[in-house]
Structure 1
Amino acid sequence: MAEQALAIGIDIGGTKVAGGVVDADGVVHERARRSTPHRSTSPRVVEDTIVSVVEELLDSSTGPIVAVGIGAAGFVAADRATVVFAPHLSWRNEPLRDALASRVALPTFVDNDANAAVWAEHRFGAGRGESHLVMVNLGTGIGGGIVLDGQVIRGRHGIAGEFGHMQVVPDGIRCECGNRGCWEQYASGNALVREARALFSAGSPVVSDLFDRVGGRPEDLTGPLVTEAARDGDPLACELLAEIGRWLGLGIADLAAALDPGTFVIGGGVSAAGDLLLEPARAAFRRQLTGRGYRPEATIVAAELGNEAGLVGAADLARSDTLAR
């Protein structure tokens, strides 16, 4: 039956290609994974990796597969076929869907990985039942996705949701995108680590616990390590996460003014800090929200699907598109 149809979802990141066979309830039945070829390799090598994962999943699936959905970390054109730009891979205006069509004998769709993730959280995760949902992914940078009236909003050119590059501080910290003061320079994993390393460099005594955790090697400091220290009660780590949370709340208030969602879902690696991050974010959001006290407030919740959100959402979008035809 159509409602029981399975689909393959593929999540392509800077370090891995992860895939799964996903049913109509968002349950992953089979999984496969490969390392992402180095960014200097040709598009064909990355395509070979994707095809290898798809073939493994087709061989292991216990039921018929109706479609393949690809979630790619990069700008995907509105045609859901072309990767315009992928910062960690060699794709530049790459016709990925057509390149795979002759090698994967199934309907294939390409989307941005954050679009796939927000769709998964909308259908099966923290945003279930919410028709107006915005997802903010805090990792090395900040990505995001939008669902309004139950539909993924991709924008005229397919690249909506690049929230991390909203300017929040004029002439602020230089961003990798070339601009200054981008939101992700203040509310991301990179920002968390940068601030901790700045205290290392200053020789601040408040950094002693983190210093011990990395054996005096600031280059070994990571976002997850700061989060672990905060969970263990280290005051500095808690303070650093609270600062990231404050910036997160400020940016979310701007998004609320523009989009008015009912729920913000916070995903990505930094969200593992839970309320150590989210409570400061909620407080800053309430202080900054336009019309505060006279309008309904969106809820701010942690994502539920973790690292599999991208592949689950890609599979479900591909399945839905195929069965609607």
Structure 2
Amino acid sequence: MNINVIGIDIGGTNLRGAVVDSKGKILKKYSLSSEANVGIDNLINNLIDLINNLRADFKITGIGIGIPGILDSKKGIITQAPNIKNAANYPIIKVLNSRIKPRLPLVIENDANCAAFGEYKFGAGLGFKTLIMITLGTGVGGGIILNGEIWNGAHGMGGEIGHIKIYPDGNKCNCGNRGCLESYSSLVGIKNMIKKGLTENKINKKLLEKIKSTKHDKLPELFYEEAKSGNSFSKRLWEEFGKALGIGISSLTNLLNVEIVVIGGGIANAWQMFIPSTKKAVKENTLIGPYQKLKISKSKLKNDAGILGAASLILPEK
């Protein structure tokens, strides 16, 4: 029997969705602005438009949705979502059920968990039972799969990998603490290293001019190219970035003894610059038993991981 579902990845800027079959093949994609910064009502209207567009040419049996925030998936409620205005304690499943006709089965899950589940089902984690997904972007996101299931923790807040402590008295993190992984191995971390480089007079005039003329979200690309060209500050930046990431992975591995760690997100494109120091730090800080059997892999699904993971929430088990 051919089963088609819709997987949706809600972002702060865009809504991305796809029709996915039972084998994980994407049959149709569609995206539009989320307007999450305007408010939850605008987002819901756009979400309905997205769903109607995707289901127009297919018989759909259910919808899975990845949402950035803390959720009560069983009750269908967004508990907290800082990137979606006015979304606190919002009954999203109830609202969508009242708007989608005919009604379809709906499941919600944290977006980072969806990305991890997508890699587990159809990507780099295929064939493994335990997996950690780390996404490197503006911040550091993550999801944990244990024995084939998403691990949410006791209150739906598990997997906050970006806030593992790397250096106890380190950089100030946006969460209010110090030394979190996110304050080193992310765009936020790169900005912190720029500030430090300026304070210590480690950035030459030519590089400084390039930094000033580069949009913030393009800084990883700039430092990737500069490191390739041999710029000493850029090479050290990626070494520090990778070292912090490796220390974080070693802590997770010592605790959970997973089979594979998958690294994704936009900054993963600089893989060859940071992964040597990441692997070195993992080797130096991980117990020998878990280390010997650990695999570290780049995401295979890239931007489709969240969509495929959301779709997998509603697909029947094989």
- Scaled by the length of structure 1, the TM-score of the pair is 0.89
C-alpha distance in structure 1 between counterparts of 2:237 and 2:177, whole Å: 24
What is the DSSP-based 3-state SS (H/G/I as helix, E as strand, rest coil) of the residue aligned with 1:94?
Answer: coil
Number of residues paired by the alignment? 314
Which of 232, 257, 263 is 1:266 aligned to?
A: 263
Cα distance between partner residues in 1 of 2:276 and 2:284: 13
Which residue does 2:129 correspond to in 1? 131
CA separation of 1:80 and 1:192: change in aligned 2, threshold 3 A: farther
1:76 maps onto 2:74 in alignment? no
1:114 aligns with 2:108: no
Asked if residue 311 in structure 1 is aligned to residue 307 in structure 2, the reply is yes
Is 1:66 the counterpart of 2:57? The answer is no
Matches within 5 A, 1:152-231: 152-200=150-198, 203-204=201-202, 206-208=203-205, 210-214=207-211, 216-217=212-213, 220=216, 222-231=219-228
DSSP 3-state at the match of 2:155: coil
- How far apart are the structure 2 equivalents of 1:270 and 1:118? 17
d(CA) in 1 for partners of 2:6, 2:214: 41
Q: What is the aligned partner in structure 2 of residue 53 from structure 1?
A: 50
Residue 252 of structure 1 corresponds to: 249
**Distance of 1:254 and 1:80 partners within structure 2:** 32
> 2-side partners of 1:293 and 1:308: how far apart?
33
Paired AA for residue 144 in structure 1 = G
Measured at CA, do residues 171 and 239 of structure 1 come closer, stay the same or move farther in structure 2, by a change above 3 Å? Answer: closer
The one-letter amino acid of 1:317's match is: L
Per-residue deviation at 1:157?
A: 1.5
Q: Which residue is equivalent to 1:239?
A: 236
TM-score by length of 2: 0.91
8 A Cα contact 2:34 2:47, kept in partner: no
Distance in structure 2 (CA, Å) of the matches to 1:18 and 1:233:
38
**Root-mean-square deviation (Å):** 2.2
Secondary structure at 2:83's aligned position in 1? coil
CA distance in 1, matches of 2:289, 2:48: 53
Give the percent of matched residue pairs that are identical in Structure 1 and Structure 2: 33
Q: 1:106 & 1:244 partners in 2: Cα distance?
A: 44
| One-letter code aligned to 1:181 | G
Change in Cα spacing, 1:260 to 1:43, as seen in structure 2 (3 Å) is same
Aligned to 1:150: 148
Alpha-carbon separation, structure 2, partners of 1:24 and 1:226:
40
- Label 1:13 to 1:234 Cα distance change in 2 as closer, same or farther (>3 A): same
* Counterparts of 1:101 and 1:294, CA distance in 2: 45
Offset of residue 149 of structure 1: 1.1
Q: State the alpha-carbon separation in 2 of the partners of residues 88 and 68 from structure 1.
A: 22
d(CA) in 2 for partners of 1:294, 1:118: 20
Q: Does the 8 Å CA contact 1:78/1:155 hold for their aligned counterparts?
A: no
Amino acid of the structure 2 residue aligned with 1:262? E
Structure 1 pair 80/116, CA: closer, same or farther in 2 (3 Å)? Answer: farther
